[in-house]
C-alpha cells in the first residue's frame, strides 16, 4: 500500500489516541465480528431473523438524526471560492477551531481505517478514499454503501497517490462541537461530532459530491446529486435519464419505480439513486456512473404499493436507522402497509401507541441496503464507462407554480432551470421543514465551490458535448386547495418518463407539447390524466403556467442570482431576462 496512507493514519492516531487501530479488509468475517460487537454493546439490535434475516436496527443520538447544514463548511483559502451559498471557514481557522476537537477523541475507542472505492473496480472514473473512524456503525454502513476493504487496498498498492483522506470521530455527539469540514484545495475531509448519514459516511456527500465537484471543475466532469435510471420501452430500447431532486424529494423512488405498464413493455431499471459522476464521452454524449454500491434510503412512505422494489431490497442484510419496531422485532414506519400497529417501540426506544401523538419512526429514518438486492438493478449499473444520458430531470417539492413537467428549449435554458430551481425543505437536514428555498441542481448543500463558477462549468460541459441530454423540470408535489397532492406519483411517474422519452426520441419539433413562456408543457391527454381519474380542474392545475405566480417566481430568482455578483455567468443572466420578457404582456 502507499506509504502515505500509513503516514496519515499514524499522524491521525498521534492526535486522536485510539486504544487500537484496525485496518478493514471488508470480509464477511470482519463484518460479523463488528456486528457481534455492536449487538453486545447495544449499538445494534438484531431484528426478527425469520422476517428480516441479517437485519439490524440502530438508534442514533436524538440530537443526531440528519445532516446539519449550518455546521458544514467549505474551507478554501479564499471565501469567494466557497461562494455565497456555502458556509466558509479558512483552513487556518479550521486548524484552530476544529482540529483540537480530535485531540484524544478516540481515547478508549478503536480506530477503524476504511479504504474504499467510489465507482466499480474496473471503471476509469473510479476514485479512492480512506476514512478513519471511531464508529463501527459507520464501518458497517460504508461496507454496504461503497466497495470497501481489500479491493481498495489493492488499488492503493499500485501506488495511486490520488486518494482522499477523511477523518471522522464521533467526538461527544454534541451539536455544539460538531463540524463537517471540507478542504477542496487539499482534497481532505474532517468530520467530528456526528455519527449520522451524510455527516459521517464520508464517501457519500462529503467526497462524492463536495470534494468530487471540485475535482470535476478542475478535470472537466460533473459530480451530481442525481439518480440514474434506464427506461425500457416496448421496442426494447433503453433510454437513460438522470434526475437531480433535493434530499427527500423522490430520487430513490423514481430510480426504483415499479411500472404500471410493465405488461405493455414499459419498465424502469436502476443504475443509481443518489449520486452521478458524469463525463463527456468521445461520442459527444454525457456518460454517467453511479459511484455508490448501496442505497441509504428514506424509510417513511416506503411500502408495497409505493415502492415494492425497495421493500424487497430491504428484506435482508440491511441496517435500519431510527425506525420503530413491533413486538416481534419487525420494522415499522409511517406510511407502511396495513393498519397502524396498536403497540410499537418508537425510534427513541420508548413504548408508542397511535394515541402518543408523535411519529413512531423519525421522519428522516433510513435503510442501508446493498444495490445488488434491488430486483430491478440495471445490468449496466457497473459498466466502466457508465451509461449515456438522453435526458436530465430537475425536480423539487413545489405546492404551486411549477407544473408536473416541462421541457427546456435548449442546454443553456436547461442549465438556467437547474440554476434557479427551488424546493420546500425536508427532514433530511435539521431545521424548518416545508420552507421554499432555491436549491440549484439540488446541490445547494453539496457544491464544494462557488455556485456561480459551477453554473459556468455546466455551460462549458454542455458546449463540449456535441449531443448533450435534453433538460426537463418535474414536480410531483403540486397540491390542491385542500393541500392534497394532485398527482398520484410513484409508479404513475412512468407517464412522465414516457413523455420525456417521446420528446428526446422525436428530437427537435417533437409533438404533444405546448410552448409556454417557461418551456414546453405536455397536454393532459398525452399524460393520461383522465385514465387516472383526475378531474379536468385538477388536470388544468397540474399543467397550468400562472403568469402572476411566474412573475413572482422570476423576481425571487433575480434576488437569488444577484448574490453571485460577477461570478454569475452572462448566459444565466440572459436566460433570466429572456424568461421575464416572455412573461411580460406584449406591449402594443
Ligand atoms: P434522499 O435520499 O434524502 O436524497 O431522498 P430521495 O430524493 O431519494 O427521496 P425518496 O425517493 O427517498 O423520497 C422521499 C420521500 O418522498 C419519501 O417519503 C417518499 O415516499 C416520498 N415520495 C417519493 N416519490 C414520491 C412521489 O412521486 N409522490 C409523492 N407524493 N411522494 C413521493
Ligand atoms: C440526503 O440528505 O440527501 C441523503 C441523506 O441522501 S444523507 O446521506 O444523510 O446526506
Ligand atoms: Mn434517496
Instruction: Summarize pLDDT for 211-269 with one digit per residue, the tens.
Output: 999 999 999 999 999 999 999 999 999 999 999 999 999 999 999 999 999 999 999 99
Number of Cβ within a 10 Å radius of residue 340: 11
Q: What are phi and psi of 107, to 5 degrees?
A: -60, 130
Residue 67, ligand 2, Cβ within 6 A: yes
Q: Which residues contact 329 (CB under 8 A, 6 or more apart)?
A: 45, 46, 47, 48, 52
pLDDT, mean over the chain? 96
C-alpha cell at 460: 462549458
Residues with CB under 5 A from ligand 3 (ion): 251-252, 297
- Atom nearest to 66 CA in ligand 2: 9
pLDDT (0 to 100) of residue 508: 54
pLDDT tens readout for residues 360-409: 999 999 999 999 999 999 999 999 999 999 999 999 999 999 999 999 99
**Residues known to be catalytic:** 249
Q: How far is the CA of 428 from the centre of ligand 2 (A)?
A: 6
C-alpha cell at 36: 457481534
d(CA 32, CA 56): 12
Confidence of residue 3 (pLDDT cuts 50, 70, 90): low
d(CA 588, CA 583): 15
d(CA 506, CA 60): 50
Q: 480 and 508 in contact (C-beta within 8 Å)?
A: no
d(CA 13, CA 105): 10
Our measurement of the distance from residue 122's CA atom to the centroid of its chain's CA atoms, rounded to an integer in Å, reads: 24
Name the one residue in this structure whose C-alpha cell is 420501452. Answer: 233
pLDDT (0 to 100) of residue 506: 76
Residue 251, ligand 1, Cβ within 6 A: yes
pLDDT tens readout for residues 174-184: 999 999 999 99
pLDDT (0 to 100) of residue 548: 96
pLDDT (0 to 100) of residue 512: 76
Q: Which residues contact 358 (CB under 8 A, 6 or more apart)?
A: 346, 352
Q: How far is the CA of 305 from the centre of ligand 3 (A)?
A: 17
- pLDDT of residue 447 exceeding 70, the answer is yes
Q: 319 and 140 in contact (C-beta within 8 Å)?
A: yes
When pLDDT is averaged across residues 288-313 and rounded to a whole number, the result is 98
- Atom nearest to 253 CA in ligand 1: 11
C-alpha cell at 414: 436547461
- pLDDT of residue 125 exceeding 80, the answer is yes
Residues pairing with 231 in the sheet: 239, 268
Ligand with the closest atom to the CA of 208:
2
Q: How far is the CA of 378 from the centre of ligand 1 (A)?
A: 20
- pLDDT of residue 2 exceeding 90, the answer is no
Residue 251, ligand 2, Cβ within 6 A: no
Residue 247, ligand 1, Cβ within 6 A: yes
Helices and strands, counts by H and E, the chain: 17, 31
Cα-only R_g, the chain: 23
Q: 170 and 134 in contact (C-beta within 8 Å)?
A: yes
Residues pairing with 230 in the sheet: 240, 269
DSSP annotation string for 33-96: HHHHHHHHTTS-EE--TTTSTT-EEE---TT-SSB-GGGEEE--SSHHHH-TTSEE--HHHHHH
Confidence of residue 1 (pLDDT cuts 50, 70, 90): very low
pLDDT (0 to 100) of residue 507: 60
Confidence of residue 586 (pLDDT cuts 50, 70, 90): low
Number of Cβ within a 10 Å radius of residue 329: 17
When pLDDT is averaged across residues 582-587 and rounded to a whole number, the result is 80
Q: How far is the CA of 13 from the centre of ligand 3 (A)?
A: 34
pLDDT tens readout for residues 511-537: 678 999 999 999 999 999 999 999 999
Residue 270, ligand 1, Cβ within 6 A: no
Q: Are strands 351-352 and 387-395 parallel, antiparallel or unpaired?
A: unpaired
Name the one residue in this structure whose C-alpha cell is 459516511. Answer: 201
Residue 247, ligand 2, Cβ within 6 A: yes
Q: Are strands 387-395 and 286-289 parallel, antiparallel or unpaired?
A: antiparallel
Q: How far is the CA of 485 from the centre of ligand 3 (A)?
A: 20
pLDDT (0 to 100) of residue 510: 57
When pLDDT is averaged across residues 447-470 and rounded to a whole number, the result is 98
Residues pairing with 222 in the sheet: 278
pLDDT (0 to 100) of residue 585: 75
Task: Please give the model's pTM, rounded to 2 decimal places.
Answer: 0.98
Amino acid at each position: 500500500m502507499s506509504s502515505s496512507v500509513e503516514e496519515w493514519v499514524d499522524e491521525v492516531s498521534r492526535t486522536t489516541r485510539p486504544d487500537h487501530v484496525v485496518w478493514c479488509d471488508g470480509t464477511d468475517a470482519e463484518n460479523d465480528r463488528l456486528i457481534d460487537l455492536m449487538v453486545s454493546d447495544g449499538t445494534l439490535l438484531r431484528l426478527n431473523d425469520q422476517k428480516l434475516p441479517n437485519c439490524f436496527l440502530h438508534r442514533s443520538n436524538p440530537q443526531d438524526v440528519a445532516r446539519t447544514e449550518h455546521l458544514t463548511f467549505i474551507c478554501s483559502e479564499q471565501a469567494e471560492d466557497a461562494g455565497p451559498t456555502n458556509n466558509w471557514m479558512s483552513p487556518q481557522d479550521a486548524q484552530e477551531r476544529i482540529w483540537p476537537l480530535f485531540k484524544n477523541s478516540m481515547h478508549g475507542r478503536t480506530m477503524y481505517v476504511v479504504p474504499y472505492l467510489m465507482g466499480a473496480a474496473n471503471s476509469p472514473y473510479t476514485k479512492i478514499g480512506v476514512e478513519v473512524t471511531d464508529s463501527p456503525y459507520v464501518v458497517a454502513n460504508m461496507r454496504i454503501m461503497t466497495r470497501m476493504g481489500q479491493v481498495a487496498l489493492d488499488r492503493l498498492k499500485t501506488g495511486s497517490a490520488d486518494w482522499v483522506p477523511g477523518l471522522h470521530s464521533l467526538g461527544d455527539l454534541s451539536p455544539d462541537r460538531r463540524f463537517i469540514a471540507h478542504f477542496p484545495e487539499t482534497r481532505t475531509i474532517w468530520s467530528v461530532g456526528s455519527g449520522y448519514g451524510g455527516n459521517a459516511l464520508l464517501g457519500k456527500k462529503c467526497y462524492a459530491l463536495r470534494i468530487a465537484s471540485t475535482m470535476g471543475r478542475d478535470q472537466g466532469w460533473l459530480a451530481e446529486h442525481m439518480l440514474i435510471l434506464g427506461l425500457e420501452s416496448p421496442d426494447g430500447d433503453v433510454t437513460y435519464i438522470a434526475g437531480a431532486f433535493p434530499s427527500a424529494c423522490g430520487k430513490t423512488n423514481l430510480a426504483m419505480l415499479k411500472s404500471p405498464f410493465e405488461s405493455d413493455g414499459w419498465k424502469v431499471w436502476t443504475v443509481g439513486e443518489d449520486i452521478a459522476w458524469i463525463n463527456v464521452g468521445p461520442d459527444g454524449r454525457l456518460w454517467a456512473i453511479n459511484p455508490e454500491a448501496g442505497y441509504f434510503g428514506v424509510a417513511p412512505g416506503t411500502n408495497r404499493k409505493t415502492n415494492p422494489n425497495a421493500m424487497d431490497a430491504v428484506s435482508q442484510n440491511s441496517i435500519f436507522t431510527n425506525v420503530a419496531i413491533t413486538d416481534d422485532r419487525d420494522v415499522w414506519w409511517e406510511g407502511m402497509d396495513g393498519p397502524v400497529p396498536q403497540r410499537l417501540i418508537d425510534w427513541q426506544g420508548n413504548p408508542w401507541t397511535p394515541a402518543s401523538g408523535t411519529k413512531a419512526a423519525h421522519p428522516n429514518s433510513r435503510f442501508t441496503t446493498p444495490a445488488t438486492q434491488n430486483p430491478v438493478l440495471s445490468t449496466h449499473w457497473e459498466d466502466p464507462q457508465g451509461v449515456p444520458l438522453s435526458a436530465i430531470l430537475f425536480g423539487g417539492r413545489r405546492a404551486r407554480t411549477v407544473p408536473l413537467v416541462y421541457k427546456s428549449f435548449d442546454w443553456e435554458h436547461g442549465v438556467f432551470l437547474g440554476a434557479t430551481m427551488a424546493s420546500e425543505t425536508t427532514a433530511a437536514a435539521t431545521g424548518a421543514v416545508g420552507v421554499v428555498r432555491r436549491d440549484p441542481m439540488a446541490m445547494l448543500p453539496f457544491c464544494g465551490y462557488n455556485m456561480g463558477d459551477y453554473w459556468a462549468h455546466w455551460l462549458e460541459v454542455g458546449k463540449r458535448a456535441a449531443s448533450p441530454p435534453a433538460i426537463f423540470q418535474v414536480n410531483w408535489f403540486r397540491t390542491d386547495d385542500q393541500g392534497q397532492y394532485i398527482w398520484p406519483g410513484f409508479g404513475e411517474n412512468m407517464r412522465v418518463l414516457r413523455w420525456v422519452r417521446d420528446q428526446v426520441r422525436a428530437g427537435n419539433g417533437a409533438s404533444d407539447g405546448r410552448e409556454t413562456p417557461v418551456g414546453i408543457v405536455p397536454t393532459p391527454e398525452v399524460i393520461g390524466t383522465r385514465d387516472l381519474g383526475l378531474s379536468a380542474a385538477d388536470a388544468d392545475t397540474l399543467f397550468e403556467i400562472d403568469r402572476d405566480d411566474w412573475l413572482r417566481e422570476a423576481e425571487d430568482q433575480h434576488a437569488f442570482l444577484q448574490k453571485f455578483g460577477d461570478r454569475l455567468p452572462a448566459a444565466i443572466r440572459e436566460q433570466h431576462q429572456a424568461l421575464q420578457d416572455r412573461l411580460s404582456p406584449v406591449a402594443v
